[in-house]
Structure 1
Amino acid sequence: MVANDELEKGQLRLLDVDNSLALPVGTIIRMLTVSTDVIHSFAVPSLGIKVDALPGRLNQTTVLINRLGTFYGQCSELCGAYHAFMPIRVDAVTPGQFIG
């Protein structure tokens, strides 16, 4: 998460991150999730993604992104004191940008 004093114009408070997830459009992607502490839930509603991350259990889902863009999400499971500070940013890029 980007700290309030480091936000640049156009960045979203409590949603922008310093390390985003880049994924290629038009490609079936297999996502695997697991947690080391408590239940978390990786959710990016505008992409139709919501998958739980459970301690000691490997969970999976598939994703197919059809359009370029930046998409925001959060952990959607109440998981502790810092739950509100677990933003997710997905940058959907062309396969060429993803590989290069």
Structure 2
Amino acid sequence: MARLIEVENSQSLPEKVVLQVGDLLVLKVSGGQVISGTDVVELLGPFQASLLLNNGEIMSPMGAPNTLMLLAHRRGQAQLDVVTGDPWYGPGSKQLVVVVKS
């Protein structure tokens, strides 16, 4: 069964993550890109977390995006560069290696 893996603190993100095919990794970062392995993982986002209100409307805060998702498609290895911090006032980046197993 595929797993939903949430990483709340980008500072605690390790340099290497091992996933299984079908896993969805949710990172609380403001952006990123796949450097290599685009056939192994799919990058979704960046997104801005929003709320569904009781009346069916969506409430979105103002500010930078804060969520990036990574879907593991096939076995292999990918390298990513993720953007941490505020992209306008205090950006940083971190390299991440993702290994996808069957």
TM-score normalised by the chain length of structure 2: 0.42
**Larger % of strand: which?**
2
**Larger % of helix: which?**
1
TM-score normalised by the chain length of structure 1: 0.43
